[in-house]
Amino acid sequence: MSGVKLMKRNVIREANRLHIFHRLIISQATILLWRGLTVSQRNQFTTFANLVNHINPTYTARRRTLLFWIHLITQRQVTNNEYADMLYNGLMRDL
């Protein structure tokens, strides 16, 4: 993800809130906003986008590992929480 793409995500969110769904309008608004930023502001967006690029693969790998270990559970787990029950036992097949 780049700084421009990060800004575009924010523009899309705001456009959807205002019930504007036309892609060309959103793209042009993003370009105009990006060009209106100072170098410092652009650098802030770019720096934040780089942080996101670093965090996402780490999060994805941890999530994949967690789901792998949950999949290996062979005994039904007793919980008093509906979400936990679906998480742990929803992957199990009735034997």
pLDDT value of residue 95:
43
- Residue 92: predicted pLDDT: 55
CA distance 65 to 73: 13
pLDDT of residue 13: 96
Can you say whether the dihedral through the CA atoms of 26, 31, 37, 39 is positive or negative?
A: positive
pLDDT tens per residue, range 17-73: 999 999 999 999 999 999 999 999 999 999 999 888 888 787 788 888 888 887 776
Choose among 32, 56, 22: nearest CA to 12: 22
Of the two residues 5 and 55, the one the predictor is more confident about is 5
- pLDDT at position 21: 94
Instruction: Say what the pTM is.
Output: 0.57
Give one DSSP letter per residue of 26-47, joined into a string. HHHHHHHHHHHS-HHHHHHHHH
- Report the first-to-last Cα separation within the chain, whole angstroms: 44
The residue written with tokens 């780049």 in the block is 2
